[in-house]
């Protein structure tokens, strides 16, 4: 599958459409999810053309992998989510429920988050 340069997060990266930004560095940007599923629901996306974690973990440079991970850490710390706890999550493909085909990590926090996934088999 080819990377779609017109996906919504690619357009946010290029600043063609607005987002509620919370952080940017050489490796990543972070912004509030437009439809939050928790009191804090942030998205962190790497700078580069990566469809999902699977693509990123195959193709990204070690420098970008470290920089992206550190950006996630920084955002967690900015919102002090390490104190009460948080969840990070990344979807891939149809079964993963991925809607936007640019690699992104969700950060959820601000309340107890319950079970990881519904219990259906």
Kindly tell me which of 85 and 93 has the beta carbon lying closer to ligand AMP. 93
Kindly tell me which of 1 and 62 has the beta carbon lying closer to ligand AMP. 1
Instruction: State how far the Cα of 103 lies from the Cα of 6, in Å rounded to an integer.
Output: 14
Instruction: State how far the Cα of 80 lies from the Cα of 63, in Å rounded to an integer.
Output: 25
- Note whether 10 and 29 are within 8 A (CB): no
Least distance from C-beta 91 to ligand AMP, angstroms? 4
Query: CA-CA distances (angstroms) from residue 9 to 107, 118, 119?
Result: 16, 27, 31
The catalytically annotated residue of 32, 95, 104, 106 is 104
92 noted as active-site residue: no
Query: Which two three-digit tokens encode residue 33?
Result: 């999810």
**35 belongs to the binding site for ligand AMP (CB under 6 A):** yes
The window from 64-72, 80-88, 95-103, 108-116 that contacts ligand AMP (CB under 6 A) reads 95-103
Give catalytic residues, as residue numbers: 104
**Which residues are near ligand AMP by CB under 6 A?**
8, 19, 33-35, 43, 91, 97-100
């Amino acid at each position: 599958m080819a990377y779609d340069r017109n996906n919504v997060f690619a357009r946010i990266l290029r600043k063609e459409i607005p987002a509620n930004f919370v952080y940017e560095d050489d490796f990543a940007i972070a912004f509030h999810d437009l439809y939050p599923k928790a009191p804090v629901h942030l998205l962190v996306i790497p700078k580069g053309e990566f469809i999902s974690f699977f693509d990123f973990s195959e193709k990204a440079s070690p420098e970008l992998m470290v920089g992206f991970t550190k950006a996630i850490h920084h955002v967690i710390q900015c919102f002090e989510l390490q104190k009460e706890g948080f969840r990070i999550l990344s979807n891939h493909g149809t079964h993963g429920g991925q809607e936007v085909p640019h690699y992104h990590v969700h950060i959820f926090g601000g309340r107890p988050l319950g079970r990881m996934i519904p219990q259906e088999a």
